Structure 1
Amino acid sequence: MSEFLADFDTMSGFGATANGGVERQAGSEADGLTRDWFRMWLTKNGFRCRVDAVGNLFGSLEWIEGAPHVLVGSHLDSQPKAGRFDGAYGVLAGAHAATTVAERVAAGKIRPAFNLTVVDWFNEEGCRFSPSLMGSGVFTGKFTAEKILDVVDADGCTVRTALRNIGYLGADEPPMCKAYVEIHIEQGRVLEDEEISIGVVTANWAVRKYRVRIRGEQAHTGATLIEDRRDALLGAAQMIVATREVASAFPPGVVLTSIGKLTVEPNSPVVVASDVVMAVDIRSSDETTLAKAHELFLQARTDIEARGEVSVDVESGSLRPSTPYHRAGIELSESIADGLGLSARRMLTRAGHDSINLKDLMPTVMLFVPSVGGVSHSEIEYTEPEDLLAGLNVLTGVLERLVVEGLSSEQEQS
């Protein structure tokens, strides 16, 4: 166990920030260095490494030729000035759990029926390149590799170029997989507040995402009268307030709304903004409630435009529905935690994870460990070492059972 914590500290040095976090956005130099270290770790520990067309990195342990694989992992990329646990914990924990399973196979203590692969999904975060969940989206057939490789960042760099620059523009075929497991920090404070060791995820919150453009008219800030202005940034401010008010129209915690990114043109201190593009996010555990929030949001857009100063266009929108995780995986995880003397509770995930894509394709398990204060996407994000190790123990137990017995693919859900 001390080896895991030491490896995690080493890995956290790549892209480290002055305030204890990391910054390794997808396809960046820091992302590449982290992946290089992890790939060397995998190779040293007997994994066969391969990289697919969109940079997903797979490390496989193969005992039975032609048998499908149990897949475990998460992502190494981060948000800007982010925490070191989000995603990265799940990748390294998956690798360490896999080596423990391999040791038990080598010692003759278990007989595998399936092979085992660890994965680092490319661009889960979606901050440099959009959309998020990119690598797992291609793996599950939700996006094509060619479409993703042509996506550009704010500086005009394509995913293809970024992957080539860091040495992860691959051409390998991914392994054939039968089940997927992911462990992650909670990114909330339910487990901490209730003093629970392990969260067993039963479903994801539904989410709507929008790209909204507010158009005004460029003018001189020092010479143009207020009544003559068509200020796109004012319209954006009104949309920001209105979007928060959508959440306030429901009981606390039922709907979450945010606007996390603005692009302002021409973005000069002495020019009235002519154009603002914003990313809007609305979430709820209940899809009927989310539909009501969606209608309130669209009405707010209409009301702001009716004031006559700006136009407000919803240029694109997407819906990620709430869908359940497989019951057999939920019950297995609870059984493993109980056998280790660890408390566990069923819960939803408000945040998006690669497992949300995978569970549409195969039986999937999602586990949480506590986050101190519920803080995430921040340099002060933290999870106690004992919680990291408790999660690693549960993950190891789940993987061992899956490698030996598999997981029912029947769609009986919780």
Structure 2
Amino acid sequence: MSTTNEQFLDDFRTMSTFGATEGGGVDRQAGTAADHETRQWFGGWLARHGFNETVDQAGNQFGTVELVPGAPYVLVGSHLDSQPLAGRYDGAYGVLAAAHAAARVADDVAAGKVEPRYNLAVVNWFNEEGSRFTPSMMGSSVFTGKLALDTALATTDAAGETVSAALRNGHRQAEGSAPALTDVANYAEIHIEQGRILQEQGIQIGIVDKTWAASKYRVTVNGAQSHTGATRMEDRQDALYGAALLIAAARDLTAEFGQGLLHTSVSEMQVLPNSPVTIARQVLMNLDLRSPDEDVLARARDILAKWIGDVQERSRTDVQLELTHQWGLVAYQPEGVALGTASAEQLGFSHMNIMTVAGHDSTNMKDAVPTVMLFVPSEEGISHNEAEFTRGEDAVRGAELLTEVVRRLVRGELEAAAINND
């Protein structure tokens, strides 16, 4: 293994010590002390490697290198924040791979090996995970204009602390002006797959060409608060029972379709009054439906609506669904897919086109600028778990591929491909 690749793995091991958990993962939710410690370390890394660090008002952390004065940036990155008791790789791998790729390409430019058309910028997006502050992908949503800055900064966690306060209390606001969307020519991101398709098929690289369709809901189950012992069973309007029936219905819904055509989940439950001797009057929770087929998703919504009527009748509760997020099958730009494919083929890496089931910052960026999204294998598909793991050789291979992608982007090959395809 080359010295460059060994340094990448050494840096990754060091980065993984911030917010490290006993189970081998990390816990550094957005704006916590562990997150800020990681950001501070990363800021030092950027400075040591010739980047100018800036932080925008939404907490997005940038490192820029000027190669062509006045030119737009090739932006590359991911996120350093994590879920609670999460793995080391989700997001953080992509940030470090982006930084190493950008540094290598900047060195190539300085050595006269690459004639640049664009400048380089690395980004650590704030609060991609959305575990402490909702919604997820917050930093890139503000950056792309999908979420108002004031709304993001006023968002509170469960303890009532705002995003604004969390940012003020942590990593310093670096001097200088951070890049804006108008400064970005194109974007690239690499991530662990968080599934096991690549591993099962023995493929080294995934070139992401589409996102799964998704519908996300905030569910409210309203019942009547009463005594857990004294209230007759036939008189109970147990919101928790209604929620349990809905949770089971959401899971059973997947059996109505072919294997792999529908993913469902219920998460982040709040039970009121959450007393050991009181039947719940209300349950709040999130419901998530995802599919690679928009027709399947539409049918799933229709079936679930009918089943909710049964839930309400059986539990004597009222169930309300509020649609919070929805998107269809959205493609990444074909020229970006082609550029990622050409880069993998040049390096001799086996590859396949793959859809992303999870949301990423690239799913925001692709709606604003041409974007390249890449995957490396995840062992057993485990993610959002301390056991999350990607082999060192896969991580290194991904960093090498991202370097080639960034090299091509900096030369303006994506725009050239788009012109040739017109």
Please give the TM-score of this superposition, normalised by the length of structure 2.
Answer: 0.95
What displacement does 1:339 show?
Answer: 1.4
Change (3 A) 1:412 1:35: farther
What displacement does 1:412 show?
Answer: 10
Q: Deviations over 1:359-402 (max 9, x none)?
A: 00010000000000011010000000000011011100010011
Distance 1:58 1:99 in 2: 13
Change (3 A) 1:363 1:412: farther
Which residue, 190, 198, 208 being the options, matches 1:201? 208
What displacement does 1:244 show?
Answer: 1.0
1:327·1:412 contact (CA, 8 Å) conserved in 2? no
Residue in structure 2 matched with residue 260 of structure 1 by the alignment: 267
What displacement does 1:167 show?
Answer: 3.1
* RMSD over aligned Cα atoms: 1.6
Residue in structure 2 matched with residue 37 of structure 1 by the alignment: 41
Distance 1:56 1:179 in 2: 17
Distance 1:276 1:174 in 2: 42
Counterparts of residues 361-400 of structure 1 (less than 5 Å): 361-400=368-407
Residue in structure 1 matched with residue 360 of structure 2 by the alignment: 353
Residue in structure 2 matched with residue 214 of structure 1 by the alignment: 221
Are residues 1:185 and 2:192 paired?
yes
1:326·1:411 contact (CA, 8 Å) conserved in 2? no
Secondary structure of the 1:401 match is helix
1:325·1:364 contact (CA, 8 Å) conserved in 2? yes
1:209·1:280 contact (CA, 8 Å) conserved in 2? yes
Are residues 1:141 and 2:145 paired?
yes
Q: Deviations over 1:301-344 (max 9, x none)?
A: 22222336111111343202221111111111111111111100
Are residues 1:48 and 2:52 paired?
yes
Counterparts of residues 1-400 of structure 1 (less than 5 Å): 1-167=5-171, 172-175=177-180, 176-307=183-314, 309-400=316-407
What displacement does 1:287 show?
Answer: 1.3
Distance 2:143 2:157 in 1: 21
Change (3 A) 1:90 1:156: same
Change (3 A) 1:153 1:169: farther
Distance 2:105 2:419 in 1: 27
Secondary structure of the 1:122 match is coil
Q: Deviations over 1:220-279 (max 9, x none)?
A: 212222112111100000010111122111111001000021001111111111110010
What displacement does 1:410 show?
Answer: 4.9
Q: Identity of aligned pairs, percent?
A: 51
Secondary structure of the 1:307 match is helix
Please give the TM-score of this superposition, normalised by the length of structure 1.
Answer: 0.97
Change (3 A) 1:268 1:239: same
Change (3 A) 1:403 1:303: same
Q: Deviations over 1:182-221 (max 9, x none)?
A: 0000000011011111000000001110000001111121
Secondary structure of the 1:119 match is strand
2:215·2:323 contact (CA, 8 Å) conserved in 1? no
What displacement does 1:33 show?
Answer: 0.4
How many residues end up aligned between the 2 structures? 413
